[in-house]
A and B are shown apart, each in its own frame.
Chain A
Amino acid sequence: MRNIILPGEEISDQPMRLSNTYVENGKTYASVVGMLDEEGRYTPLESVYSPRPGDTVVGIVVDVRHHGFVIDVNLSSNATLPARDTRLRLEMGDLVFGKIGRIFPSGDIDLQDVRKLSGGKIFDVPTAKVPRIIGKKSSMLDMIRESTNTKIVVGNNGYIWISEQGNIPLVMKVIEYIVENAHKKGLTDKMSEFIKKHME
């Protein structure tokens, strides 16, 4: 039986290092709403995105400065792409994706391996649902890409980019469906049914 866990409920009587948990008196407690399955694995259902080096993020260029580009990546402060790290010529409003490089103790974030996304559009989803949109070894994402003929880039920060060509209304519907049903089992099978139904 799955079990919905509220902040402050015990996950394990052993100290464990997991995201969205904390240890007190040698026991591990949840710090956000999550789910605990039979094997004692804890999955957060609601969470605030906290960046880690190497995460893929999608962003919007909000400022062009001498030292680099300022990019909105759905965080409380904007990330920067230092000018010396890139040859791209970006303008305000350009959509990009890249990886999180360094995170400074002050909370400033540098991006690396940034590429420009031409055209298309961005929308956001709750970050706790992103792993479900990607699926195991990106199985879910591949399925959506194939069946709708679109290019999609999913950022860990909850921003999703979709290309201009392909069946965009269907992609939007599919992602909405995943976000609503993210906590359910056998989602990939349900998704293929859902897509079949809407393709006709």
Chain B
Amino acid sequence: MSKKEEVFKDGKRPDGRANDELRPMKMKVGILSNADGSSYLEWGGNKVICGVYGPREAIPKHSQDPKKSLVKVKYSMSTFASKEEHGRAGPSRRSNEISKVIKEALENMVFTEKYPRTQIDVFVDVLQAEGGTRVASITAAALALADAGIPMKDMCCGVAVGKAGDQIIVDLGKEEDNLGQSDMPLALSNRDKNILLLQMDGLLTLEEIEKAIELAEKASDKIHEMQKKAINSVYTEEPEEVFTM
């Protein structure tokens, strides 16, 4: 029996989850005192930390846009993040690509035209990885932006959908990602479910994609609930109190 058959035997997922079940999540906001906004996210075996600075003067000056703010994202994966060594922590082909797709997802959410000639820096560090770090990074970055008070059209979150063991599944783990048939990371805005990021590895039919996006939309509602709880927990040590100006 090949490793592939072993992982997906009797039609079950390797960690025994239901097809639409997410891995356990933990979120926290405001963990870095020197950043304007920050967040920490644990999603299954992923551990992601995110800090946001700005809006501040864009550097170098020739990169300034007189009409809008620049969103600059730096995604980096630690050398010790996963089972296989990741080499040096500096920019690589992979991390440059992920920085770019996260940037493009966030640019659509932030009101960049409010702060001309500035930049908003988003730093995402993956401390531990277990499949789906780019979607975890977007989820964490949206939280950190909200914590920084940067005006946004909507909250957003990422979730991976795909196909493994001939089944459409949500939130692929490392084994399902590497040995499955297809992996499709998605980022969705919360209210309108606009697609901010869509990438795909492997093959899916049109019907399968439609089904996968439907599952992702349901999953994004669950993730948004968690994001909301994380922000709420900052303000609810004494739940009976009411604040009025």
Contacts and interface: CB of A to CB of B under 8 A. Distances in A.
A9 B56 CA distance: 26
A7 B154 contact: yes
B115 A48 contact: yes
Interface size class of B (residues with CB under 8 A): 35 or more
Given A4-B232, A22-B153, A76-B118, A185 B242 contact: yes
A138 B37 CA distance: 28
Interface of A: 1-2, 4, 6-9, 20, 22, 29, 31-33, 35, 37, 41, 43-48, 50, 76-77, 106-107, 126, 128, 131, 183-185
Interface string B156-171: 0000000000000000
B244 A76 contact: no
A37 B243 contact: yes
A37 B191 CA distance: 22
A131 B245 contact: yes
Given A41-B245, A185-B243, A47 B232 contact: no
B228 interface: yes
B151 interface: yes
Interface string B53-87: 01111000000001000000000000000000000
B243 A35 contact: yes
Contacts of A185: 241-244
By secondary structure, the A interface counts as loop
Interface of B: 37, 54-57, 66, 111, 114-118, 146-155, 189-191, 227-228, 231-232, 235-236, 238, 241-245
Contacts of B244: 37, 41, 185
B146 A2 contact: no
Contacts of A45: 149, 235
B228 A128 contact: no
Given A4-B232, A6-B155, A185-B241, A44 B117 contact: no
Given A8-B190, A76-B56, A76-B117, A44 B231 contact: no
B146 A33 contact: yes
Given A1-B242, A46-B149, A185-B244, A8 B228 contact: no
Nearest to B236: A4
5 residue pairs, one from A and one from B, having the closest CB atoms: A8-B154, A46-B149, A31-B151, A7-B152, A47-B149
Given A8-B189, A37-B244, A184 B238 contact: yes
Max chain B C-beta neighbours (<10 A), residue from A20, A46, A126, A128? A46
B147 A46 contact: yes
B111 A22 contact: yes
Contacts of B115: 48, 76
18 contacts: A2-B242, A7-B153, A8-B191, A31-B151, A32-B146, A33-B149, A35-B243, A43-B245, A46-B37, A46-B146, A46-B148, A47-B151, A76-B54, A76-B55, A77-B57, A77-B118, A107-B117, A185-B242
